[in-house]
């Protein structure tokens, strides 16, 4: 027995459905149907008995595709429209075979071969129509043009001009453009340098032209590679789609962007997991982000306050951490991470414990980075109408919050002057310097727009900041 099949776990997109179409065309074209058994009528649109009886004595003449739909064309003018949904698949058998529990529709051919529609999650659909009607009625009449065809910028701009939804959500709308799903929208937006949350009506013509060009390139490459093998998708038994090896961003959360070195982020756009580069993919509806960092005593707060006086709203990471420490869930997590606290949350004891135990310090920082990162991102998103904001983050690079910044300024300070300034703060200087010794190690000067020396007085610092502010 030879078994071929198409297995889909992530909802198959245009390349995967095209691969299925080509595989089936090599297996069942010219096959004459002798019997049809519908084992689950809910997958059939319309009367299941009529569906079965109508296809008996039909011959499959061709198989086409429209968006993510497979279309079987028969010799008697009938058309079968099939949508695989999440896990629909077709298995072809070259001899009589008993169905499994997930085989829902069975097509038996005159030569004793068969084609089984198998669907573990049972979301797939089948509908009968005719050659003269199938493109004029739902579901195909609701589809926009295929994304790998010559879609005009004028058409796409017209569809998006009144849509304030994120561009990612708009490109997933099959009535606007057909065939793009979660995987390939992420890829197209990355190549086009567009943030997935950018309002659709704010994407300019130049960027829309890139979207359409990259959609064709990505989809056609994926078709040539047989689609992407994601989770349990395979174009056929013993066959893998190979395009997943060429994916730039999809499924690569926390990996490094090969273009800029930033860390890929994952968010959810209208409920869909979305991976993007926060540095390469800018949102034109988001404010211009200036990030300030540097070791303790370097003047970060002075700089931030000066920016605030000039109209910038400021996110302070230290203040964010203090607020987080007031949350009960955070306190409970800290107690689990820092064993020396012995079940009692106390900031002074926490500081002492972190000085002694670098491993626990690292674990706590990793946990806090995630929370502060989320707060920083929400801060930026909440300032859509503001054209400029500042992020003041001591460990800017280690936390990867630097990825959100359009400009980065590192405040540097001579260690002797640093100690002199800290003496006026009535704190344990050595203790703070131990906690902050990694600040110098995190100063990635290649990522910084500029390094500002703050060894002088306040007036000197303000004079240097004036040059930055005046350039905006």
Give pLDDT tens digits for 371-392.
Answer: 999 999 999 989 977 788 999 9
3-state helix, strand, coil in the chain (%, to 5): 40, 20, 40
d(CA 236, CA 270): 32
Contact 135, 141 (CB under 8 A): yes
Instruction: Report residue 472's pLDDT band, with 50, 70 and 90 as the boundaries.
Output: low
- Look at residue 422 in the predicted model and tell me its pLDDT: 73
Counting the structural domains of the chain, the total is: 3
d(CA 449, CA 451): 7
Residue 38 structure tokens:
């519908």
Residue 260 lies in a domain: yes
Which residue in 68, 127, 252, 447 is the catalytic one? Answer: 68
Q: Given the DSSP bridges, would you call strands 103-109 and 33-38 parallel, antiparallel or unpaired?
A: antiparallel
Residue 232 lies in a domain: no
The verdict on 423 and 305 lying in the same domain is yes
pTM: 0.80
Q: E strands of 393-462, at which residues?
A: 407-412, 450-453
Contact 50, 163 (CB under 8 A): no
The verdict on 89 and 198 lying in the same domain is no
Which residue in 22, 193, 272, 351 is the catalytic one? Answer: 272
By three-state DSSP, how is residue 341 classified? helix
- Look at residue 231 in the predicted model and tell me its pLDDT: 46
Higher pLDDT, 108 or 446: 108
Domain around 265: 153-227+240-276
Answer whether residue 233 shows pLDDT above 60: no
pLDDT digits (tens, 9 = 90+) for 294-339: 888 889 999 999 999 999 999 999 999 999 999 999 999 999 999 8
Which residue in 12, 15, 196, 295 is the catalytic one? Answer: 12
pLDDT, averaged across the chain: 88
Answer whether residue 5 shows pLDDT above 60: no
- Look at residue 428 in the predicted model and tell me its pLDDT: 61
Percentage of the chain with pLDDT > 70?
89
Instruction: Report residue 4's pLDDT band, with 50, 70 and 90 as the boundaries.
Output: very low
Least reliable range by pLDDT among 181-195, 240-254, 256-270: 240-254
d(CA 234, CA 9): 9
- Look at residue 9 in the predicted model and tell me its pLDDT: 37
Which residue in 13, 16, 87, 392 is the catalytic one? Answer: 13
The verdict on 307 and 406 lying in the same domain is yes
CA dihedral 462, 467, 470, 472 (to 10 degrees): -110
Ramachandran region, residue 91 (left: φ > 0; alpha: ψ -120 to 50; beta: rest): beta
Answer whether residue 429 shows pLDDT above 90: no
- Look at residue 235 in the predicted model and tell me its pLDDT: 41
Q: Is 272 among the residues known to form the active site? A: yes
Residue 211 lies in a domain: yes
The verdict on 297 and 442 lying in the same domain is yes
CATH classification of the domain holding 164: 1.10.8.50
Q: Is 68 among the residues known to form the active site? A: yes
Q: Is 22 among the residues known to form the active site? A: no
The verdict on 325 and 385 lying in the same domain is yes
Answer whether residue 115 shows pLDDT above 60: yes
Q: Is 246 among the residues known to form the active site? A: no
The verdict on 302 and 329 lying in the same domain is yes
């Amino acid at each position: 027995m030879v078994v071929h099949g198409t297995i889909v776990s992530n909802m198959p997109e245009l390349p995967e459905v095209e691969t299925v179409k080509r595989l089936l065309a090599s297996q069942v074209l010219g096959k004459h149907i002798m019997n049809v058994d519908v084992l689950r009528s809910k997958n059939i649109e319309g009367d299941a008995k009529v569906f079965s009886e109508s296809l008996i004595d039909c011959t499959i003449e061709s198989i086409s595709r429209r968006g993510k739909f497979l279309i079987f064309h028969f010799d008697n003018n009938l058309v079968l429209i099939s949508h695989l949904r999440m896990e629909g698949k077709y298995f072809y058998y070259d001899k009589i075979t008993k169905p499994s529990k997930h085989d829902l529709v069975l097509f038996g051919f005159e030569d004793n071969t068969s084609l089984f529609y198998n669907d573990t999650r049972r979301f797939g659909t089948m509908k009968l129509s005719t050659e003269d009607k199938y493109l004029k009625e739902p579901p195909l009449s609701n589809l926009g043009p295929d994304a790998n065809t010559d879609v005009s910028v004028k058409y796409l701009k017209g569809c998006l001009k009144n849509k304030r939804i994120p561009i990612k959500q708009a490109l997933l709308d099959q009535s606007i453009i057909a065939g793009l799903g979660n995987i390939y929208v992420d890829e197209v937006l990355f190549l086009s340098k567009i943030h997935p949350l950018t309002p659709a009506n704010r994407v300019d013509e130049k960027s829309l032209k890139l979207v359409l060009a990259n959609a064709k390139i990505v989809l056609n490459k994926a078709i040539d590679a047989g689609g992407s093998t994601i989770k349990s998708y395979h174009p056929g038994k013993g066959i893998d789609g190979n395009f997943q090896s060429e994916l730039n961003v999809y499924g690569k959360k926390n990996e490094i962007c090969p273009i800029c070195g930033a860390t890929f982020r994952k968010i959810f756009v209208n409920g869909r997991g979305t991976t993007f580069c926060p540095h390469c993919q800018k949102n034109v509806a988001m404010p211009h982000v200036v990030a300030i960092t540097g070791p303790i005593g370097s003047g970060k707060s002075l700089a931030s306050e000066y920016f605030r006086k000039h109209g910038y709203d400021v996110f302070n990471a230290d203040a964010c951490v203090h607020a987080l420490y007031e949350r009960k869930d955070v306190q409970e997590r800290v107690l689990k991470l820092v064993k020396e606290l012995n079940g009692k949350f106390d900031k002074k004891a926490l500081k002492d414990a972190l000085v002694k135990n670098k491993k626990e310090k690292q674990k706590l920082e990793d946990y806090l980075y995630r929370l502060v990162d989320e707060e920083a991102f929400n801060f930026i998103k909440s300032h859509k109408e503001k054209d400029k904001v500042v992020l003041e983050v001591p460990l800017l690079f280690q936390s990867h919050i630097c990825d959100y910044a359009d400009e980065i300024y590192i405040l540097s300070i001579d260690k002797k002057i640093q100690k002199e300034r800290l003496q006026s703060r009535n704190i344990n200087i050595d203790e703070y310097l131990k906690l902050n010794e990694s600040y110098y190690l995190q100063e990635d000067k290649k990522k910084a727009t500029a390094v500002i020396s703050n060894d002088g007085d306040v007036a000197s610092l303000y004079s240097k900041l004036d040059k930055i502010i005046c350039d905006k």
